[in-house]
Amino acid sequence: MGSLEHLVECDKTEYANVNWDELGFALTKTDYMFVMNWCKDGEKFSEGVLTRFGNIELCPSSGILNYGQGLFEGLKAYRKEDERILLFRPEENALRMQMGADRMCMPSPTVQQFLDAVKKTVLANKRWVPPHGRGALYVRPLLMGTSPNLGVKPASEYTFLVYASPVGSYHKGPNLNLVVEDKTHRATPGGTGGVKAVINYSPVYKALSEAKAKGFTDVLFLDALTGKYIEEGSACNVFVLKENVISTPPAHGTILPGITRKSIIEIALTFGYQVEERAVPIEQVLDAEEVFCTGTAMVVRSVASITYKEKRIEYKMGAETVAQKLYATLTGIQTGLIEDKMGWTVAID
Ligand code: COI
């Protein structure tokens, strides 16, 4: 961090000094984060404060470090052409965090506390919101057990923290080439796959690293019970299209109920597509016309190929795809280019 004079000077600048066109999906440290603590005595979250972005102190025995008692969220702030800033469906993130907190035995911020914290974080880091059409400010709320916890039990103290980073594309390369992973699984029935628990993500590293080493972009996981049905990617939901029917696995337990997933289903229905939330056998994916991934980080991305048991299938790509039409509508709404008839965006300036 620089001197206070320097930071105050920076705060006056309209845009941070970032090469917006070079942004990928990696942390660019911004100015402020928001921190709010929950403690057993009062059984509620404190008021919460914006502080300079920086490292936090944790007991080596904290619940988050030892037993992974933690959740995260991800949402984006976009700059409209007129410079105003829009959040996309932030209330959905607040509600999903509450659902996850229940599963992980954690207290959760109220929807209002969550929304206030997100808005404050974005406004305090306004100069890091990329110019219109050149990326987004990714907002990352965290909820974690922070009290010392040697035994296996829920923590007695929690921290809710929100930080933000400007981001561009999640996968920078031109094509998304997936490989089906049939040895390890992302989620099991009765586990935590259906909530945004921090512990859902590092278990995918092994499959992802092996896939990348073989030249693939990402993996496609199968269900843990039968190994016959698709589930999701390492950080995205998956859709398949055949004869104007769009199918995706139902968000029942092992599938993350993605907010982009939900929005794409709603947009597709308004376009008149039939959308089926059902178990999708891997054989049907290999026979599909289009496959695409969705997520806050990923947005909507056509899949160029899927490799399963050494066989590579290629899918329709480009401007004429249904995925592209859905992407254009979603991002048009998110960035204020298309009228938001759904009431999904929240202007925060
Ligand atoms: C998101 O899309 O916000 C995600 O949660 C994916 C993230 C793990 C990169």
In this structure, what CATH number is given to the domain that contains residue 26? 3.30.470.10
Say yes or no: 66 and 153 in one domain. yes
Say yes or no: 160 and 200 in one domain. no
Centre of ligand 1 to C-alpha 292, Å, is 16
Of 296, 300, 301, the residue with max ligand 1 atoms within 8 A of its CB, to mutate for a pocket test, comes to 296
Task: Tell me what pLDDT residue 39 has.
Answer: 84
Number of domains in the chain: 2
Residue type, 72: F
Q: Whose CA is nearest to atom 7 of ligand 1?
A: 235
> pTM of the full predicted structure?
0.94
Is residue 339 in some structural domain? no
Centre of ligand 1 to C-alpha 296, Å, is 6
Is residue 242 in some structural domain? yes
Task: Tell me what pLDDT residue 141 has.
Answer: 98
Residues in CB range of 139: below 8 A, 6 or more apart: 73, 74, 75, 76, 77, 87, 118, 121, 122, 162, 163, 164
Active-site amino acid positions = 196
Point out the domain boundary residue: 140, 167, 194.
167
Q: Mean pLDDT throughout 183-193? A: 96
Residues in CB range of 260: below 8 A, 6 or more apart: 237, 294, 295, 296, 298, 299, 300, 330
Task: Tell me what pLDDT residue 340 has.
Answer: 97
The atom of ligand 1 lying closest to the CA of 256 is 5
Q: Mean pLDDT throughout 180-199? A: 97
pLDDT digits (tens, 9 = 90+) for 1-42: 344 444 444 444 589 999 999 999 999 999 999 999 998 887
The atom of ligand 1 lying closest to the CA of 196 is 5
Mean pLDDT for the chain overall:
95
Q: Mean pLDDT throughout 109-119? A: 98
Task: Tell me what pLDDT residue 173 has.
Answer: 85
Task: Tell me what pLDDT residue 202 has.
Answer: 96
Measured from CB, residues less than 6 Å from any atom of ligand 1 are: 74, 201, 235, 295-298
The b-or-e profile of 193-213 (16+ CB within 10 A means b, else e) is: bbbbbbebeeebeebbeebee
Question: Among residues of the chain, what percentage have pLDDT more than 90?
Answer: 93
Say yes or no: 180 and 159 in one domain. no
Say yes or no: 129 and 224 in one domain. no
pLDDT band, residue 154 (cuts 50/70/90): very high
Q: Mean pLDDT throughout 243-252? A: 96
Say yes or no: 136 and 192 in one domain. no
Point out the domain boundary residue: 144, 167, 190.
167
Say yes or no: 310 and 188 in one domain. yes
Say yes or no: 7 and 154 in one domain. yes
Q: Whose CA is nearest to atom 3 of ligand 1?
A: 74
pLDDT > 80? residue 346? yes
Q: Mean pLDDT throughout 209-213? A: 97
Residues in CB range of 190: below 8 A, 6 or more apart: 253
Residue ranges making up the domain that contains 212: 176-334
Is residue 235 in some structural domain? yes
Question: Among residues of the chain, what percentage have pLDDT more than 70?
Answer: 96
pLDDT > 50? residue 155? yes
Say yes or no: 147 and 285 in one domain. no
pLDDT > 70? residue 220? yes
Q: Mean pLDDT throughout 306-331? A: 97
In this structure, what CATH number is given to the domain that contains residue 231? 3.20.10.10
Task: Tell me what pLDDT residue 122 has.
Answer: 98
Look at residues 162, 195, 184, 165 and name the one whose alpha carbon lies nearest to residue 69. 195
Look at residues 238, 13, 235, 255 and name the one whose alpha carbon lies nearest to residue 138. 235
Is residue 147 in some structural domain? yes
pLDDT > 90? residue 140? yes
Say yes or no: 140 and 196 in one domain. no
Say yes or no: 35 and 69 in one domain. yes
Say yes or no: 142 and 278 in one domain. no
pLDDT band, residue 73 (cuts 50/70/90): very high
pLDDT > 70? residue 120? yes
pLDDT digits (tens, 9 = 90+) for 260-316: 999 999 999 999 999 999 999 999 999 999 999 999 999 999 999 999 999 999 999
Centre of ligand 1 to C-alpha 235, Å, is 5
Q: Whose CA is nearest to atom 5 of ligand 1?
A: 74
Point out the domain boundary residue: 115, 136, 167.
167
Is residue 201 in some structural domain? yes
Say yes or no: 123 and 191 in one domain. no
Centre of ligand 1 to C-alpha 193, Å, is 13
